Chain A
């Protein structure tokens, strides 16, 4: 009886252990023990997004992770081993191009990476046997792949440019491709890179303009489309402007002609006009229509900008003096918007259209300036009033003091008298 009880207990415990223990994974156990490069996949896989999703080595590499022997890696057990470079896209796509499978993990997951990749320069060259180009693992990592939303991931927006730069800024690696290697250095100076570094992950990085899996350089004709995905108004105005046809005729690349491609710095008003920083004078010369329009647009933008600065300065002084000028400040913000719109309207290259907006802004700025001046006048009025009131108060206090002195002179009640004496007098 006693033996039966022990047997049942042991059986119960062993069954429980079998249910609770994770499934056996000999891949991790053996590779971790091997040390060196062979141990790396085992140690790195811990943080990998696939591991987090519950996948194991065998899900990609095949084999039998429950087998302790080398037979675990036999072809008979489905072992596929490590793919060669040119096999990697299809290797990953076995799952990532399978919508039914991928939607088990994330219903919104894209499954077009392989088809996009095959349209890219990287994909095309890899198909041709050029293994120097990037495949999935070159950007995402191998056994330590992190989710795109993970800030440590090489494909997180703030890391994309440096990931691309690992190859594209490496002159030795890029030798033979006949493309420049200064894109990253130029991009780092751009307003896009600065905005991204400031924490705005919606700011463009390499993949925003070139695509990610389907990475390809935009052609001359499609540059405006690329920029226009964000700068919609600028693109529409440019397309309606006389420059659109002229640029196309001359084979000039739209936006890039004035703004550059990777080194897209913050434009200033001096880019229009005819000064030394002008982009207009690249083509336009004194006497032609465009030259006059450039001069007029710069003059109007400068006038509005200086009007806004003057009004903001006086309102700030009034506000620091404690005056309530929130109303004029809100109106001035409207005029600031007019300046922004006018700067966008420069892409019409129509001086009259720009002037319409700048005139409206200048009018508001003038009103705001007057409101600020009035507030400062009111401040001075209050201070004069305060001065007069303080004089009246000091006179009243002096009168009271003299009255007390007069009342208590020769009379000791104020300081030494007692109530009985006062009462006797009363």
Chain B
């Protein structure tokens, strides 16, 4: 087996220098600190993304993106296609877990200050990937064309319609008209399986390249301790030591996904009816709840602005500040923590949790 591996590698090395990849992997290390658990979240998010791609391709074999057929095709997958229920449930559960691990990954990077020089672009590419992941969730939610998805998309696109400056244009662009119709479904399908995967692949390539090029960041506290000679920086080879640990996590994730799919299959609900009254308590997916709840609390007018417009403006400014943190958090340097930005992170987490909990009441 080892000989076959060596022969294959040599064959590829002679043709396009594959040996350099092996050489790179042999030297790649991961810092061993008490924060090492957080380093697995990027790999976990990537693993779940791969699951999404694979199950998504399988769903495409049966899915039909029209208002007349979408619901029925998903129903067919769930009831008639062998293991269709598993593929669809894993796709839905994995999507939510991926967004959850993406949140965790983002906040772990934020609090470990891994965005600081020279990893500003890694942070920005990661944040753009995060927005794309949210876009995947938003566009994919509508595709089964059920009642909840239909009305949640109405609410969601209305929120998008309040984006400062481009809101009205964005609403029509997303919906393919003034209302959520079959045109919206076709567009969301296009975004979900072509536009977003294309962008995600490009950004993922950039993000992974930067991670490999720059290596794993060492948290400022550890950096300071090493500089002061209180400890020495320990490293672990990425291949195979760290990768094998990654794989343990991926297997565990597979087990969790299988359990969720078998015990709590993702429900399909009832087919969307544009003329039906919106069900009571309609709300978007959990990752948009905090924005939804915030907009509910805002008064009709704030100073000279419409309340919803002001809210979306606030979130837009907040998102820009969050993305630009590596350039704003200028005092972060060698082993120095900037409490303001740590406090901001704690506030954002607290805000998201509290507002989401209030929306679920």
B29 to chain A: closest residue by CB: A419
State how many residues of chain A have any CB contact under 8 Å with chain B.
Answer: 31
B247 to chain A: closest residue by CB: A400
Contact A415 B234 (CB under 8 A): yes
A418 CA to B32 CA, complexed, in Å: 10
Bitwise interface map of A from 213 to 237 toward B, beta carbon under 8 Å scored 1, else 0:
0000000000000000000000000
A386 within 8 A of B: yes
Inside 8 A of B85's CB, which chain A residues have their CB?
Answer: 324, 382
Contact B255 A415 (CB under 8 A): no
Bitwise interface map of B from 221 to 260 toward A, beta carbon under 8 Å scored 1, else 0:
0000000000011111100110011011001101100110
Contact B264 A403 (CB under 8 A): no
A323 CA to B262 CA, complexed, in Å: 10
Contact B251 A396 (CB under 8 A): yes
Query: If the complex has contacts A322-B265, A401-B248, A404-B244, are A390 and B259 also in contact, measured as CB distance less than 8 A?
Result: yes
Contact B262 A382 (CB under 8 A): yes
Please pick, from B26, B32, B248, B255, the residue contacting A390 in the complex, using a CB distance under 8 A.
B255
Contact A414 B236 (CB under 8 A): yes
Inside 8 A of B248's CB, which chain A residues have their CB?
Answer: 397, 400-401
Give how many A-B residue pairs fall within 8 Å (CB-CB). Answer: 83
Contact A404 B241 (CB under 8 A): yes
- Specify the main secondary structure of chain A where it touches its partner: helix
Please pick, from B27, B245, B255, B258, the residue contacting A419 in the complex, using a CB distance under 8 A.
B27
Contact B244 A400 (CB under 8 A): yes
Inside 8 A of B233's CB, which chain A residues have their CB?
Answer: 418
Inside 8 A of B289's CB, which chain A residues have their CB?
Answer: none
Tell me the minimal C-beta distance from B271 to chain A in angstroms: 9
**In chain A, residues 376-426, which have Cβ atoms closer than 8 Å to a Cβ of chain B?**
382-383, 385-386, 389-390, 393-394, 396-397, 400-401, 403-404, 407-408, 413-419, 422-423, 426
Contact B234 A417 (CB under 8 A): yes
Contact B268 A324 (CB under 8 A): yes
Contact A408 B241 (CB under 8 A): yes
Tell me the minimal C-beta distance from B335 to chain A in angstroms: 20
Query: If the complex has contacts A324-B265, A400-B248, are A415 and B259 also in contact, measured as CB distance less than 8 A?
Result: no
Query: If the complex has contacts A403-B244, A415-B32, are A326 and B270 also in contact, measured as CB distance less than 8 A?
Result: yes
B218 within 8 A of A: no
**In chain B, residues 1-51, which have Cβ atoms closer than 8 Å to a Cβ of chain A?**
26-27, 29, 32
B79 to chain A: closest residue by CB: A324
B263 within 8 A of A: yes
A383 to chain B: closest residue by CB: B262
A199 within 8 A of B: no
A185 CA to B163 CA, complexed, in Å: 60
A107 within 8 A of B: no
A327 to chain B: closest residue by CB: B79
A322 CA to B237 CA, complexed, in Å: 44
B273 within 8 A of A: no
B267 within 8 A of A: yes
Inside 8 A of B247's CB, which chain A residues have their CB?
Answer: 400
A393 CA to B249 CA, complexed, in Å: 11
Inside 8 A of B268's CB, which chain A residues have their CB?
Answer: 324, 326
Tell me the minimal C-beta distance from B141 to chain A in angstroms: 18
A324 CA to B85 CA, complexed, in Å: 9
Contact A416 B234 (CB under 8 A): yes
A416 CA to B232 CA, complexed, in Å: 9
B75 within 8 A of A: yes
A319 to chain B: closest residue by CB: B267
A90 CA to B235 CA, complexed, in Å: 104
B78 within 8 A of A: yes
Inside 8 A of A323's CB, which chain B residues have their CB?
Answer: 265
Contact B241 A413 (CB under 8 A): yes
Contact B255 A393 (CB under 8 A): yes
Please pick, from B234, B245, B265, the residue contacting A404 in the complex, using a CB distance under 8 A.
B245
Tell me the minimal C-beta distance from A15 to chain B in angstroms: 41
A323 CA to B237 CA, complexed, in Å: 46
Tell me the minimal C-beta distance from A318 to chain B in angstroms: 11
Contact A386 B241 (CB under 8 A): no
Inside 8 A of B234's CB, which chain A residues have their CB?
Answer: 415-418
Tell me the minimal C-beta distance from A7 to chain B in angstroms: 48
Inside 8 A of B75's CB, which chain A residues have their CB?
Answer: 324, 326-327
Inside 8 A of A396's CB, which chain B residues have their CB?
Answer: 251
Inside 8 A of A416's CB, which chain B residues have their CB?
Answer: 234
Inside 8 A of A400's CB, which chain B residues have their CB?
Answer: 244-245, 247-248, 251
A404 CA to B249 CA, complexed, in Å: 14
Tell me the minimal C-beta distance from A4 to chain B in angstroms: 49
A324 CA to B144 CA, complexed, in Å: 14
A422 CA to B29 CA, complexed, in Å: 10
Bitwise interface map of A from 69 to 90 toward B, beta carbon under 8 Å scored 1, else 0:
0000000000000000000000
Residue of A327, A414, A423 with most partner-chain B CB within 10 A = A414
Inside 8 A of B27's CB, which chain A residues have their CB?
Answer: 419, 422-423, 426
A414 CA to B242 CA, complexed, in Å: 9
Inside 8 A of A414's CB, which chain B residues have their CB?
Answer: 236-237, 241
Inside 8 A of B262's CB, which chain A residues have their CB?
Answer: 382-383, 385-386
B262 to chain A: closest residue by CB: A386
Contact A322 B258 (CB under 8 A): no
Inside 8 A of A327's CB, which chain B residues have their CB?
Answer: 75, 79
Give 17 CB contacts A-B under 8 Å. A324-B78, A326-B270, A327-B75, A327-B79, A385-B262, A386-B262, A386-B263, A393-B258, A394-B255, A397-B252, A404-B245, A408-B241, A416-B234, A418-B233, A419-B235, A422-B235, A426-B26
Residues of chain B whose beta carbon lies under 8 Å from any beta carbon of chain A: 26-27, 29, 32, 75, 78-79, 85-86, 232-237, 240-241, 244-245, 247-248, 251-252, 254-255, 258-259, 262-265, 267-268, 270
Given A393-B254, A407-B240: 7 more A-B contacts, CB < 8 Å: A322-B265, A324-B268, A383-B263, A393-B258, A397-B251, A414-B237, A414-B241
Residues of chain A whose beta carbon lies under 8 Å from any beta carbon of chain B: 322-324, 326-327, 382-383, 385-386, 389-390, 393-394, 396-397, 400-401, 403-404, 407-408, 413-419, 422-423, 426
Q: Closest 9 interchain pairs by CB?
A: A386-B262, A322-B265, A324-B78, A393-B255, A382-B262, A419-B29, A419-B235, A397-B251, A400-B248
